[in-house]
Chains A and B, each alone.
Chain A
Amino acid sequence: MSVTIDKLSVAYRTLAGDVCPVDEVSFTVRDSEIMGLAGESGCGKSTLGNSLILLEGRMRHLGGTVVLDGKELPIADNRAMRPLRMKEVSLVPQYAMSALNPTRKIRRLAVDLLRCHGVKYASVAEELRRRIALVGLDEDVLDRYPFELSGGMRQRVTLVLSTLLNPSLLIADEITSALDVSTQRAVGELLMEFRERGFVRSVIAITHDLSILAQIADSILVMYAGRLAEKADTDTIVSYPLHPYTRALIASLPEVGVRHDETTLKGIPGRPPALMNCAPGCRFMDRCPLASERCGVQPPFTEVRPGHFVACWKTAQEAAA
């Protein structure tokens, strides 16, 4: 099973014009792979993740295809996507802690979700109980209201509910962001365990936190201002990044053990460009220490080494050499 995204473009309609946070994006997620989608706020990673399952309100599908298991996903057609949601593609949304209906008990939520897909609750009740226990929660969680649970518990419940029908693709949007450090580790390890046990086939884990991805992801895809910057497996990205943005990002992360007196970390000056009426060419150009005239033309996202994609004229040239 695999997901192939080819030249996908999604735009938001606003009063001032169209904003394009996903601009001709192409990549592949292999079977049973946890791919991390990293980037800063405003880069379009959440839009990309959400567009694979629900194009809502002001989002418009401008072009490109998403092929899951050889079949094209009709992401622009809300009706056609409905039977596929939760069964083929599932989502753990950002702020999942607020994603649960506060006036319903958890069991009732599960019943509602299952009924939408024509699955009787009784047939999966046993499995549900087993998974609740697997994530380290008591069975009586099912009879509680969401506000009676802590943030970490709600996150785990959402994870279980979203993967109950064993989807092929899970989009996990910032699932560790608002959690404490120890719960972060627990949830991250749970995601990996779900993948081990086959509850989900492939996962796209969206986050801004590269350190978490270094722990749980097999490969990392870095996005910048609506376009892809670099994709490689985790060790390569962390230890031998090619794209100047990735390099600068990794260099700016403080690690435990690094103190200011010993090493002064540097941020990246400037801001990401606005996603409306973008100037042609590489979007990182303004902030890039390696920028040159060539960068006036958008570099293609090419495979410079096996499994290592980068969109940069300079470093692609270096890598090929």
Chain B
Amino acid sequence: MSEQLVSDAAAPATEHLPAPSVPSQAHLAGVTAAPAGLLVTAPVARRRRGEFLHYALRNPKLIFGLSLELVFVLAAILAPVISLHGTSTYFLAHQAPSSAHWLGTDNLGHDVFAQLVYGLRTSFLVGALGALCASAVGMALGFIAGYRGGLIDDALQMVTNIIVMIPSLVLLIVIGAYLQTRGVLFEGVFIGLTTWPWVARAVRAQTFTLRTRDFVDLARLSGKRSVSIVMKDIAPNMASYLFLVVILLFGSSMLLAASFDFLGLGPTNSVSLGTMMNQANLWSALQLRMWWWFIPPGLVLTGIVFALLIANVGLDEVFNPKLRTQ
């Protein structure tokens, strides 16, 4: 993915398209420029930032993905409002969907719809935690390795490779055996700390390419320290890429959490989409033909991640002028 954020209309003056601006007469007359020159530049500068918004609002994939995602997020936020019952109230068990229970009840009599919308909250929370953790660690190590290079890079590469090799499922089982209860926080942080290598590698690669650019050399020649250069010169140029990375992490954290939950390694004190599927499986929902129990969670999870990925593709097109079809 290109890290160039310069739009096609703003090609550098040395290429075949000149910058669209009014020429100043000042050079000939030798006096201060007419104010007209200043007036034209303001809209051009603002246009650069508004340009992303312009394309974003017109990209069908992005709009579709974001809208669908928004539906799920709203459902999670408004769970107490839209759900008629709580997750732990008991009703008649094995009931099919009806007007009283929109998705029926499970084997113990809990309202499935309530579980679904409250479970959404948990899943989103774990996804966000995992993404945040992985991003923080991965970006920090990626920037350091990419900018410094040399021995530090080699050492960090080794650490990355070791983490990649450790099977996270086995690790989770081992750690889980020592814990009394597992909460959402634990799961989120665990996922974060085992999925950061992918982020680190991607960030490192991008940093490598940006590090050789002339403006980084200019910053060095201005006496800037490395940290300042990374934070102010390199990272902002990768902003769109980092944004996409975080979105993808969010989706993959949710999927990973769901698979852990399904295997029974999820949070012990809250309900999530994965735990719903786990319970449905344990209590033979399939054999008992309780489709309202085991289909909705999976469908919702698929929908969430699908929406994220579609939005991601759309966002990539917005940021990268070369992918635009309009």
Direct touch of chains A and B (CB < 8 A): yes
B9 adjacent to A270 (CB under 8 Å): no
CB of A271 within 8 A of CB of B20, answer no
Q: Which residues of B contact A273 (CB under 8 A)?
A: 23
Q: Is the CB of A16 within 8 A of B20?
A: yes
Q: How many A-B residue pairs have CB under 8 A?
A: 56
| Contact residues of A between 36 and 60, Cβ < 8 Å to B | 41-42, 44, 46-47, 58
Which 6 pairs, one residue from A and one from B, show the smallest C-beta to C-beta distance?
A42-B18, A14-B9, A269-B27, A270-B27, A46-B16, A15-B9
Nearest residue in A to B22 (C-beta to C-beta)?
Answer: A274
| SS class, residues of chain A in contact with chain B | loop
Cβ contact within 8 Å between A286 and B23: yes
Cβ contacts A131-158/B at 8 Å (1 or 0 each): 0000000000000000000000000000
Give chain B interface residues in 10-67, CB to chain A under 8 Å.
13-25, 27-28, 47, 51, 54
Distance between Cα atoms of A42 and B8 in the complex (Å): 14
Please tell me if the beta carbons of B7 and A270 are within 8 angstroms of each other in the complex.
Answer: no
CB contacts (< 8 Å) of A271 on chain B: these are: 18, 23-24, 27
Task: Tell me the smallest distance from the CB of B51 to a CB of chain A, in Å.
Answer: 7
- Please measure, in the bound complex, the distance between the C-alpha atom of A286 and the C-alpha atom of B22, giving whole angstroms: 12
A276 interfacial by beta-carbon distance below 8 Å: yes
A12–B17 Cα gap in the complex (Å)?
9
A270 to B37, CA, bound (A): 14
Q: Which residues of A pack against B, CB within 8 Å?
A: 12, 14-16, 19, 21, 41-42, 44, 46-47, 58, 269-276, 286-287
Q: Is the CB of A41 within 8 A of B20?
A: no
Residues from chain A with a CB closer than 8 A to the CB of B13 are 41-42
Closest B residue to A42 by beta carbon equals B18
Instruction: Specify which of B9, B16, B27, B28 is in contact with A16 (CB 8 Å cutoff).
Output: B9
Q: Which chain A residue shows the least CB distance to B15?
A: A41
Which residues of chain B are within 8 angstroms of A274 by Cβ–Cβ distance? Answer: 18-23
- B19, B24, B28: most-surrounded residue (chain A CB, <10 A): B28
List the A side residues contacting B24 at CB < 8 Å.
Answer: 271
A58-B24 Cα distance, complex, nearest whole Å: 28
4 additional contacts, CB 8 Å, given A274-B20, A276-B20? A15-B47, A42-B15, A44-B16, A286-B25
Interface residues of B in 177-230 (CB under 8 A from A): none
Q: Which residues of B contact A287 (CB under 8 A)?
A: 28
- In angstroms, Cα B183 to Cα A297, docked, is 79
Task: List, in ascending order, chain A residues with CB within 8 A of B28's CB.
Answer: 269-270, 286-287
Contact A41 B16 (CB under 8 A): yes
Closest Cβ of chain B to A243, distance in Å, is 18
**Complex CA–CA separation, A58 to B326 (angstroms):** 10
6 A-B residue pairs with Cβ-Cβ distance under 8 Å, sorted by A, are A16-B47, A269-B28, A270-B27, A270-B28, A272-B18, A274-B22
In the bound complex, residues from chain B placing their C-beta under 8 Å from that of A14 are 8-9, 20
Chain A residue contacts of B16, Cβ below 8 A: 21, 41-42, 44, 46-47
Contacts of B25 in A (CB 8 A): 270, 286
A269-B28, A270-B28, A286-B28 known; A15-B51 Cβ under 8 A:
yes
How many angstroms between the C-alpha atoms of A42 and B11 in the bound complex? Answer: 10
- How far, in Å, is B18 (CB) from chain A's closest CB? 4
Q: A15-B7, A15-B51, A16-B9 are in contact. Are A270 and B14 (CB under 8 A)?
A: no
* A42 CB, nearest partner CB in chain B, Å: 4
CA distance A290 to B89 in the complex (A): 92
